[in-house]
Structure 1
Amino acid sequence: MITKHPLLHRTRLFITSALLTLFICQHSALASEKGAEHKQHHDVGVHGMALVMVGGKLIASHLPLHNSMHEHQIIFTTNISERPATSKQSQSQSQHQNKQHQLPQIVNSIEAALTKGQLITLLPEVFSLSKLRNSELTDFTATIYQGHFERGGKPIAKQVSFAIDQMLYQRKLSNKGVSNGEYNLINMGEGDVLAVHQIGDKPSFDHLVWLTSTSEKLVALPTSITTDGEKLSAQNKASLNLQSELGKSLEQHQSQLVFKQSLYFETQDFQ
């Protein structure tokens, strides 16, 4: 019969306990790392956008949704870049030259469609919305659609590079006591103003409006205006009563702004 030495037995217990503790610590650290990584990248996906134009400036507006990874209104000026997007693998020189040759035609096509009031949307590559919000994303590639890319729109150009120029507006959606009808005003320069509807409680709507100044210089531009949100959200078309509703609010603020064009109006995603 072999008798276990007490010291040897305690040593083995200590080693076993130490290894078990090390395993638990490593597992916890790995779980924490994966949790942090998941939290950081939970908003990585396809973030559709509407493309509009104010005074010759292209503006991209993220298509937000309540209670999802898309729950942010994000609007920024953009332009079609002549360089391949940095997030993509480098293209051959011939492919890049071909795209450069097509750029003027693509830009003219987009501007013509937007001038006519047609809907243009973007289906971008996969990226993190947080990186866009934090100005860590400088450009991206996207397919350009005439119409809504999820509702029968037709692609008119693929793998087009868009540079992110200036962040104009961003806010997180809330469905807790936020009233509809308030528009935030953004001075775009040269007498142009972009009015952005602050999406509120459901039912709500996403709406971008182009306003212009009646004088050479904007005087006392209000930061926001308030309209009858219930009346606007009930419309099938944004043009119905919109001009008069905005007009009344602007008169109350004694602003020298007038309605120019309804650029984008969406209700279906906010019912």
Structure 2
Amino acid sequence: MLLALPPVPQLVLQQVPPSQERTVAPRRMGTHGMVLFGAGPRLYLSHIPMFHRPHDVQLLLAVSLEPQEAGAVPTDFSQGTYTVEPERFDLDALASGKLQRFRATVYQGNFEGGGTPVAREVTVKVEAVRYQRVLSDPAPALGAPRYLVLGEGSEVYLVHVLSHAPDFDQVLRVKLDRPLPRRDGPPPVLRFEGRENRLERRLQAGERLQARDEAGAPVGVEVQRELSFLKGPDFTP
């Protein structure tokens, strides 16, 4: 005699369209202008920030440029102000490393303040994200100015560390009396003790100063050129 077995329940799987899988809406979409500096194969971008979305991130990148035609882009951005006006993208995707290439126009001068285009449709390739901090996150007030150090050897670049509004954004080319130790991770930081962290007291070309590295050791600094200076809180030219 055969026993009647209860029907086996069927499991129905609903396939989620690929466009809906782990979709994260862009949080900082916009045109994120940047200061371009460096020379030869070592180039850097410093995002021009604000203290509100979508620009509320201090972000430093090591990059390379891929022009449409050979020789269409200068190779030395250490003698004056250069900026890039990129296509629209999500700044969070750039900071996280998800966005590794974007197109941009390179300007001599500030693209928002009378700059002159020197190359269009340039592909910017992100080699490394060197530093990032969301400006709306809590941060201690800086009694003395601090600068991030980009580059190797004695001739390097300093970028002012942002803390609280209104603050100021500054990029300098300097010469150190000794190279700083190479390391992975965030750039080294120099502190200029005995100097107020105000735009009126920012470092000036021609100054010879004494700074302290992260271990507290003295470092002599000769400021050669100011490559960019933008006054907060809107950081416009």
TM-score (norm 2): 0.72
Q: Within the alignment, does 1:80 sit opposite 2:46 as a pair?
A: no
Q: Show the counterpart of 1:179.
A: 142
Q: Show the counterpart of 1:243.
A: 207
The residue identity in structure 1 corresponding to 2:231 is: T
Q: Show the counterpart of 2:84.
A: 122
For residues 208 and 49 of structure 1, what CA distance do their matches in structure 2 show? 11
Closer, same or farther: CA 46–219 of 1 in aligned 2, 3 Å: closer
For residues 255 and 220 of structure 1, what CA distance do their matches in structure 2 show? 15
Q: Show the counterpart of 2:163.
A: 200
Shift in Å at residue 202 of structure 1? 2.4
Q: Deviations 1:192-224 (Å, cap 9, x if unpaired)?
A: 443221112223100122333334x54699733
Q: Which has more radius of gyration?
A: 1
For residues 229 and 68 of structure 1, what CA distance do their matches in structure 2 show? 28
Q: How many percent of aligned residue pairs carry the same amino acid?
A: 25
CA contact under 8 A between 2:49 and 2:56: conserved in structure 1? yes
Give unmatched runs, 5+ long, in structure 2.
Answer: 1-19
Q: Show the counterpart of 2:116.
A: 154
Q: Which moved more, 1:65-74 or 1:165-174?
A: 165-174
For residues 93 and 52 of structure 2, what CA distance do their matches in structure 1 show? 19
Q: Within the alignment, does 1:210 sit opposite 2:164 as a pair?
A: no
Match of 1:261 among 197, 212, 225: 225
Output aligned runs, 1:83-98, within 5 Å: none
Shift in Å at residue 62 of structure 1? 0.6
For residues 116 and 144 of structure 2, what CA distance do their matches in structure 1 show? 32
Q: Show the counterpart of 2:10.
A: none
For residues 160 and 151 of structure 2, what CA distance do their matches in structure 1 show? 16
Match of 2:191 among 200, 225, 243: 225
Partner-residue secondary structure (3-state), 2:92: helix
Aligned residues: 207
Higher normalized helix content (fraction of residues): 1
Q: Within the alignment, does 1:51 sit opposite 2:36 as a pair?
A: yes
Runs of 4+, deviation exceeding 6 Å: 219-222
CA contact under 8 A between 2:39 and 2:78: conserved in structure 1? no
Output aligned runs, 1:1-150, within 5 Å: 40-53=25-38, 57-81=42-66, 99-100=68-69, 103-108=70-75, 111=76, 114-117=77-80, 119-150=81-112
The residue identity in structure 1 corresponding to 2:60 is: I
CA contact under 8 A between 1:192 and 1:211: conserved in structure 2? yes
Closer, same or farther: CA 226–250 of 1 in aligned 2, 3 Å: same
Partner-residue secondary structure (3-state), 1:133: helix
The residue identity in structure 1 corresponding to 2:145 is: E
The residue identity in structure 1 corresponding to 2:131 is: Y
For residues 165 and 203 of structure 1, what CA distance do their matches in structure 2 show? 31
Closer, same or farther: CA 234–149 of 1 in aligned 2, 3 Å: same
Q: Deviations 1:219-258 (Å, cap 9, x if unpaired)?
A: 699733135345x5026x8526x825xx133498422543
Higher normalized strand content (fraction of residues): 2
Q: Show the counterpart of 2:14.
A: none
- Root mean square deviation of aligned Cα: 3.3
CA contact under 8 A between 2:169 and 2:229: conserved in structure 1? yes
